[in-house]
Amino acid sequence: MKPKIDCNSIKFKTWLYFILFAAGLMLVLWIMQVFLFNSAYGTMKETQTREVVRDINQSFKKHDTEKFLHEIGELSDSYDMYIYVVSYDGKTQYFSPSAEDYAKAPSFETDYSGDGTSSDSEFISKIQTLNEHMIRNNGSAYVKIEGNDKSQVILAYGGVLTLEDKEPLIVYVFSPLWPVNSTVQILTNQLVAVSIVALIIACCISIYLSTRITRPIRKISATAQRLAQGEYGIVFRGGHYTELNNLADTLTGASIELEKSLMLQKDLVANVSHDLRTPLTMIKSYAEMIRDISGDNPDKRNEHLKVIIEETDRLNGLVGDLLTVSRLQSGKMVLDISEFSLTEAVESILNTYKVMEMEQDYRIEFNCSSNYIVRGDEEKLKQVVSNLVSNAVKFSGEEKHVIVSLRKKGRYVQFRVSDSGPGIPPEELDHVWERYYRSSSNMVRSAEGTGLGLAICKEILSLHKTDFGVSSTLGEGSEFWFDAELVRTDKLNTTD
Ligand code: ADP
């Protein structure tokens, strides 16, 4: 089967752009060569001719005739020009290149032996034209003369060199303003070779580059397909490029997050079903007991009904907590910010524990010296205080001692609650804020908590953008705290 070319693939496009680039470059070179080379060459030659004339003048002033002629030879060699020097009486004639070489030069085919060939007369006519211009200019003259081929122009210069104690000389410089055919041919050949090499190199580089880019992309997309099929937590591998490495890292992060959330979802279903089943079983068994056994015994019946009511409350609390967590985490919960007394809020929550203090020997201390007015969502911050205090009471151990305090800390007031309970192992401290986390160390039955209280606290405090934390020593107790934005500090109301 014929391999199909995907015109939208990176491979094809890279190849195409490289080829277009190389072809464009070659095109520019060809245009320069074909259209601009001759004129650029002409301009260069004109400048050079003027420089050579200047050098000839200087050399004539500095040296004796022999040395001067020698220098003319050098100038002619280095600039590829024809220089003809003649004395007034026509006795001294000097050609550079020599008369023989000169004769070989294109369109300067002149027979200097003077046997009167046509090229000889052509040369003489050029000299005559120059002489006319020199007489008209009263001195030196630059003249552009057409060569044999009308498109080929020669820049001719004629000038008289005079110096007091020297015999005057007339100098003629002929500089062809078109490149020598062989030079053009060499350049054209080279350009063809360069074009072919450039296209081959462009092809190779584009194939190499596109393969290096597409290989890791193909690997990433194959891995992404595994992810799409439900294989979470897989690692994506990048390639030789930072962008691809970043993409791979991001996808790996996403895949790990997906795995985590899947596990969390599984945990959630397991925990919720477990937490729902326990009170439901209790309710069912106690209801059956009332039906079968205690229905006619008011004391027993009331006792059993009390259990049913307690378990229903627990179910209610669990469902409420679940709803709160899901609303908080989906970002649907908005804060209803107001200014309120945190001192009074804490006091009202602690009042609900008065019965426990009286009947079950709990000691709950509250240290607060002022009435702290804070800014925040009153109901939600009360829920945080309530969750933290209820945990402290629940985990206060045999000493049943809980200390709650409010203290000013700069622009904040800090709420702290510490207990005398079993504490939390250091490695688990960071996890207590996670949903459904229950410490391995405390002895309290799992049935007594939902594992959602601290997760709710974390979401509420994060929404308030405030600091919170926990410290704990195993066997001595734990301390939970959070900051609330302080508006002002009033005097404590001590009427009651
Ligand atoms: P729960 O309803 O189980 O109390 P939380 O989210 O409030 O759920 O607490 C999560 C876990 O953190 C608890 O099960 C317990 O293991 C641990 N924890 C919370 N507060 C305390 C505390 N004051 N002392 C010791 N452990 C605590």
Mean pLDDT on 39-59: 85
pLDDT for 109: 41
Say if residues 133 and 143 touch (Cβ distance below 8 Å).
yes
Q: How far is the CA of 350 from the centre of ligand 1 (A)?
A: 18
Q: How far is the CA of 233 from the centre of ligand 1 (A)?
A: 29
Gap between the Cα atoms of 440 and 375, Å rounded = 36
Q: Is the CB of 477 under 6 A from ligand 1?
A: no
Residue 169 has pLDDT above 60, yes or no: yes
**Residues in contact with 110: Cβ distance below 8 Å, sequence separation at least 6, in sequence order:** 102, 103, 117, 119, 120, 122, 123
Q: Is the CB of 420 under 6 A from ligand 1?
A: no
Gap between the Cα atoms of 204 and 209, Å rounded = 8
For CA atoms 261, 263, 270, 471, the dihedral sign is negative
Residue 331 has pLDDT above 90, yes or no: no
Top-ranked range on mean pLDDT: pick from 283-287, 328-332, 482-486: 482-486
What's the DSSP call for residue 2?
Answer: P
Gap between the Cα atoms of 415 and 349, Å rounded = 13
pLDDT band at 483 (very low <50, low <70, confident <90, very high): very high
Residue 99 has pLDDT above 70, yes or no: no
Average pLDDT, the chain: 83
Mean pLDDT on 30-42: 79
Gap between the Cα atoms of 402 and 269, Å rounded = 34
The distance of Cα 317 from the centroid of its chain, to the nearest Å, equals: 48
Q: Which two tokens stand for residue 270?
A: 């397991």
Q: Is the CB of 481 under 6 A from ligand 1?
A: no
Q: Is the CB of 147 under 6 A from ligand 1?
A: no
Residue 477 has pLDDT above 50, yes or no: yes
Detail the DSSP E strand segments found in 28-138: 82-87, 93-96
β-strands 93-96, 141-146 pairing:
unpaired
Which range has the worst mean pLDDT, 11-20, 340-349, 476-485? Answer: 11-20
Rg of the chain over all Cα atoms, to the nearest angstrom? 52
Length of the chain: 496
Pocket test for ligand 1, best of 401, 438, 481, 482 (most atoms within 8 A of CB): 438
pLDDT band at 448 (very low <50, low <70, confident <90, very high): low
pLDDT for 107: 45
Mean pLDDT on 238-252: 88
Q: Is the CB of 419 under 6 A from ligand 1?
A: yes
Say if residues 159 and 17 touch (Cβ distance below 8 Å).
no
Residue 466 has pLDDT above 70, yes or no: yes
pLDDT (tens digit, 9 = 90+) per residue, 101-148?
555 544 444 444 444 444 556 677 778 888 888 888 878 888 888 766
Q: Using the CB atoms, write b or e for 327-352: b if 16+ within 10 Å.
A: ebeeeebeeeeeebbbbebbbebbee
Gap between the Cα atoms of 112 and 119, Å rounded = 9
Helix (H) or strand (E) holding 209: helix 181-228
Gap between the Cα atoms of 273 and 256, Å rounded = 25
**Residues in contact with 366: Cβ distance below 8 Å, sequence separation at least 6, in sequence order:** 346, 347, 350, 404, 405
Nearest CA to ligand 1 atom 19: 391
Q: Is the CB of 159 under 6 A from ligand 1?
A: no
**Residues in contact with 84: Cβ distance below 8 Å, sequence separation at least 6, in sequence order:** 93, 94, 95, 96, 127, 171, 172, 173, 174
Q: How far is the CA of 440 from the centre of ligand 1 (A)?
A: 10
Cα dist from 139 to 46, 50, 90, 171, whole Å:
19, 15, 18, 11
Residue 482 has pLDDT above 90, yes or no: yes
Nearest CA to ligand 1 atom 21: 391
- End-to-end Cα, the chain, rounded Å: 95
pLDDT for 151: 66
Mean pLDDT on 407-414: 94
* pTM to 2 decimal places: 0.51
- The torsion angles phi and psi of 397, rounded to 5 degrees, stand at 70, -160
Q: What share of the chain is helix, strand, coil (3-state, %, to 5)?
A: 55, 20, 25
**Residues in contact with 390: Cβ distance below 8 Å, sequence separation at least 6, in sequence order:** 453
Residue 468 has pLDDT above 60, yes or no: yes
Mean pLDDT on 354-373: 88
Q: How far is the CA of 469 from the centre of ligand 1 (A)?
A: 13
Q: How far is the CA of 362 from the centre of ligand 1 (A)?
A: 18
Say if residues 131 and 138 touch (Cβ distance below 8 Å).
no
Alpha helices in 83-117 (DSSP H): 99-104
Residue 18 has pLDDT above 70, yes or no: yes
Q: How far is the CA of 372 from the centre of ligand 1 (A)?
A: 27
Taking Cα atoms as reference points, which of 398, 386, 396 lies closest to residue 453?
Answer: 386
Taking Cα atoms as reference points, which of 403, 412, 340, 399 lies closest to residue 368?
Answer: 403
